[in-house]
Structure 1
């Protein structure tokens, strides 16, 4: 029960932050389309900008809940010593990106389509998106890795040492995976807005066709990053620690089951997105694609969490288990 609650909260946090971090990059495409004077694309851009702000706020709140759930003396020591500098910087960067998105959404003259207005808005989006995607995925992956390795104390992680951690195989591969997930989920938000447009169109055939065109664009925006997850997933699997790898490959039944289910959900999701992207736009398929996206995130989150916990317990058994192992007669 505790495991399921943890996974649900963590998945909701990741989905919210995926929209918050990936939204600005996806918005660059919508801004380009809206700069041509299309009210449909401007509506989609405003919708995603509002969703991005909400995602950052909700994700931050759920992140605080997770910190409370995960709190331990070792957890506190890690984030107040080795990772304190980067955690403080990441918090500042989050506030800066949130402020930029508020400026973009409400005060950056969305009606202006002049060259400099367009370039300034694109610059705001690029900075807000890359700022978040560079700091947050890598920071929390480094924190998780240090916790797995029981490397709580040591030299503070900052500057060059942070970049050294960034290029480690497992951290780099999962960081790319997270960036692609952010883009895929934010693309799915465009699909969600298209669903709303189609519903409001009613009997208006022109408005409905515009909504379908927006749905096709949203499907492509989500399908591209989702397809790239395949080689990225193989990369992650090949470079992850042998402990976690063995848990996913059969040592831990929960992690292995979630791994297989997540693969099935991901392939089904790709099929649905491909159908929509190729013009087979129906409300049923759009809703199914959104449900599959959420299911894939939840299953993959559960898979990683279960695998890491099992590998950590195997590497650092509880004191009682360690004492029992020490008392077993030696075969030598």
Structure 2
């Protein structure tokens, strides 16, 4: 969902770079349209994969976590997802109604991005915490007031900031990938080069900001997770070190792009490197969390049943 969440933000700076030209007749305009269509495709793919994960491979921890949400919460989440899709589709389909109404295009892009970035990073962080540790929240049913309190916790805020920065980075890298497909470095006009430089700069800054956010995230994690990252788990620590090394290499690649290296190998190499880093960081986060749901179930299955039954009774 990274690209789907922040892709509309790329539309804004591409629109600004191309504000005096006809979109259909220039490189940046075509890049902007491709970027938004990629965002919609990523959104739909994320929805399909999310539903499949929920239905096919929920796991005990995830099933218990979801059971603690009231039924109206799922309806609210579906409505928010539909709202973002409705905002994105007119831009992805390049509706003629939006031509000459740049203010409306910008408004739709902002509403789509902010809606997803505000609601779903903290929600997914909460679900992830509950899936690995059902006792992380004491309340059997997570109503609105409980969710707001959980969203304000330092660890959830850190994870949300991490996701937002990662989303903007992925969207910027997708812009670079599309630019590398559209034209060779010699064929790029001045506006296209400016857009590529902007995308590289955005990716560079958001990646740099991940360093203090990562320290914040590490400081807010439970002691068992920090121990796993700092050598308690050899595999987790090695993956984390490899991911950090890849991040340093990525910073060098992005700096080269900002300074004017628009070669296809440079642009695509940076994009592939981001994908590898995301995969490694996701594996690090997953394997560093002790799965307390299994131990709780093994020690006291009745206790878990009481929690789930209590939540179900409030639906």
TM-score range, shorter chain: 0.7 to 0.9
- RMSD value, Cα: 2.4
Gaps of 5+ in 1: 1-16, 321-332
Secondary structure at the counterpart of residue 212 of structure 2: helix
Q: Which has the higher contact order (CA 8 A, sep 6+)?
A: 2
1:190 aligns with 2:175: yes
1:3: which partner in 2? none
2:16: which partner in 1? 32
| Gap change, CA 1:268 and 1:110, over 3 Å in 2 | farther
Offset of 1:94 from its aligned partner? Answer: 1.1
Is the CA contact (8 Å cut-off) linking 2:125 and 2:156 kept in structure 1?
yes
1:179 aligns with 2:160: no
| Gap change, CA 1:220 and 1:98, over 3 Å in 2 | same
1:298 aligns with 2:279: yes
1:221 aligned to which of 163, 178, 202: 202
Offset of 1:140 from its aligned partner? Answer: 1.1
2:254: which partner in 1? 273
TM-score normalized by the length of structure 1: 0.81
Q: Whole-Å Cα distance in 2 between the matches of residues 207 and 147 of structure 1?
A: 48
Secondary structure at the counterpart of residue 91 of structure 1: helix
Q: Whole-Å Cα distance in 1 between the matches of residues 232 and 134 of structure 2?
A: 22
Secondary structure at the counterpart of residue 280 of structure 1: coil
| Gap change, CA 1:70 and 1:241, over 3 Å in 2 | farther
Offset of 1:260 from its aligned partner? Answer: 0.6
Secondary structure at the counterpart of residue 119 of structure 2: helix
Q: Whole-Å Cα distance in 2 between the matches of residues 228 and 294 of structure 1?
A: 18
1:316 aligned to which of 295, 299, 310: 295
| Gap change, CA 1:206 and 1:250, over 3 Å in 2 | closer
TM-score normalized by the length of structure 2: 0.85
1:239 aligns with 2:213: no
Is the CA contact (8 Å cut-off) linking 1:23 and 1:129 kept in structure 2?
yes
| Gap change, CA 1:289 and 1:57, over 3 Å in 2 | same
Greater mean alpha carbon deviation, residues 249-258 or residues 26-35: 26-35
| Gap change, CA 1:254 and 1:271, over 3 Å in 2 | same
Runs of 4+ with >6 A deviation: none
Q: List aligned pairs for 1:152-167, cutoff 5 A.
A: 154-167=139-152
Offset of 1:225 from its aligned partner? Answer: 1.1
Q: Whole-Å Cα distance in 1 between the matches of residues 281 and 97 of structure 2?
A: 37
| Gap change, CA 1:192 and 1:110, over 3 Å in 2 | farther
What whole-Å deviation, never above 9, does each CA across 1:284-303 have from its counterpart, x for those lacking one? 21121011100100000110
1:67: which partner in 2? 54
Q: Whole-Å Cα distance in 2 between the matches of residues 267 and 317 of structure 1?
A: 39
1:148 aligns with 2:132: yes
Offset of 1:162 from its aligned partner? Answer: 1.6
1:168 aligns with 2:153: yes
Offset of 1:209 from its aligned partner? Answer: 5.5
Gaps of 5+ in 2: 300-315
Is the CA contact (8 Å cut-off) linking 2:61 and 2:130 kept in structure 1?
no
1:325: which partner in 2? none
